[in-house]
Structure 1
């Protein structure tokens, strides 16, 4: 027969182990939620870009000018109702913060998708220095696991692709010079 103190000790050890597992799983859940938010934000960006490209692909090619050197000014195509519009004008960081700041859903909770804004703010503060993705993630408090660091890397690559920051070397990023 098992003694009462041995059984109590066994239950206590099991409870401590479960508490540790719970803490680890909660951190993992938060990291996965942040990664999912980054994927959803990227998905939205890709969908908007694809919609804009589809509009451009459907537009007829402009007619050649009647004579050389007499090019007519090209007008922008009229927006279509079935394709979402995309604003392609350059914005200052302040305008980006105003238009893409945190918004609230119906329950009043903040939505995800602030990673790009946070990265741009970070580069505005560090100045003209080379920075690794891991350093950016650490500065933003997103270095808890490889998934969140990879989300920062993906966001940095998107910012390089849109010429908002530049790649200065292998794995190094730098603020875009004005």
Structure 2
């Protein structure tokens, strides 16, 4: 809270020094300030990139692409949208996968089953924690808490069939009657 007060004081001083009123400076909300800090402190591994489709002025909506370098999803490319709510960090961001992924913890609509986006969210968590949680879903898919029960059952009962279905889906083939887009990053 002290940082927020100091930032607002600096904004007012800058406005006064420029000979204008404070109303000409767009005051940032607490959630915008927190997102700005979270993004400035990101430590993304080389398999991730972040983009701001609406420009750097809109930090509340951005995309993160993950290209796993190992495991079942090696060489895939998985883009996620992040929508930061007005009550962030008290409310978790809304994160969705932009493509259909054959994954036990991602449903066909792109919803993600990650505990820190639901019941385990705490205001001390940040965007960096979410990105590393998503990376973990690709290195260690979880069949115990699925959004795609069929994929979870295959992962648990028949990992070799699961692996073939993941590869087929990443090549843009049909798996269990659902067509997928080709997401193999080395062939794009």
With normalisation by structure 1, the TM-score equals 0.22
**Structure ID, larger Rg:** 1
**When you count strand as a share of all residues, which structure comes out higher?**
2
With normalisation by structure 2, the TM-score equals 0.21
**When you count helix as a share of all residues, which structure comes out higher?**
1
